A = this chain, B = another copy of it.
């Protein structure tokens, strides 16, 4: 049974572990600092398909297959598949697993979707509804540019605050019991709209939501930032991370630990021309499954706070002059020997 600690946080009382992770990424992501951490790197943007949208589905489908293989768990042993992406009507996910025959629950939390899926999956396991759940998300740079901003063919200039949507897919298998990286607490975010209207500055739109969720997490668990070895948001990028640090500092909170963001980890800021860093559902999903989980397995980090962030906008809301609501869901993970 999950135990409520406050308005936004539950503590899991049964062990829920991240039994395995898999990440498949695009060519550019495979040239970044985490290149050795991913399971497969595409040779181009197409993954053998004729459209970017289909390419994203195939990339996510391969990621799911790799996860099942790594976890030695065939799809029929998975009770829920929680997935989402940035394409309209979340079709990248639905098409990726339409032949899997796993009970499917589609999610939309923009770049926070991996946090949402892992949260729901962990609570379903803790509450006895499932023993084995897969959470996964994807994004594709070219599909996302067409979806949210301008056609790539237009060749628009990118502002310094713009983030680069990662072509990446990440998946984790959550399981009841066992040792390893266990999910212990879940803090679910409220929507926070700071009034930002610039779709090329999503870090600014999401940072206030990230700060509200982190604050709620620390207050409701009685923990401090220093209780973790790493606090990692995703995907605020460099601009958004700086804003988050400023918001925390203004309230006297410092992070005496590894304090970073998946959008800062996935690319080399100096050499990859990505401006403010990475974004997209697949960014934090692939960085978590490919890198953060491994850092825990390798003994580098024992306690991690993982906090994916999302910007809940669309091309239509931007065109209609709406501001960009942000959201952030946080999960506390702790390494436990079996």
Contacts and interface: CB of A to CB of B under 8 A. Distances in A.
B127 A123 contact: yes
Interface in A67-111: 76, 79-80, 84, 86-91, 94-95, 97-110
A102 B8 CA distance: 8
A244 interface: no
B129 A126 contact: yes
B108 A316 contact: no
A314 interface: yes
A88 B1 CA distance: 35
Copies in the complex: 2
Contact of A105 (B110, B188, B316): B188
Contacts of A95: 312, 317, 322, 325
Nearest to A327: B104
- By Cβ-Cβ distance, the 9 closest A-B pairs, closest first, are A127-B127, A1-B128, A2-B129, A103-B188, A89-B314, A94-B312, A88-B88, A106-B108, A90-B108
A51 interface: yes
A51 B4 CA distance: 40
Interface string A169-210: 000000000000000000011110100000000000000000
Contacts of A123: 123-124, 127, 129
B98 A193 contact: yes
Contact of A316 (B1, B87, B325): B87
A265 to B, nearest CB: 25
Nearest to A109: B106
Nearest to A10: B129
Contact of A97 (B87, B90, B131, B191): B191
Interface residues of A, number: 63
A190 B120 CA distance: 18
A39 interface: no
B189 A104 contact: yes
A149 to B, nearest CB: 13
A54 interface: yes
A190 B316 contact: no
B91 A105 contact: no
A13 to B, nearest CB: 8
A253 interface: no
A320 interface: yes
B315 A98 contact: no
Interface in A23-37: none
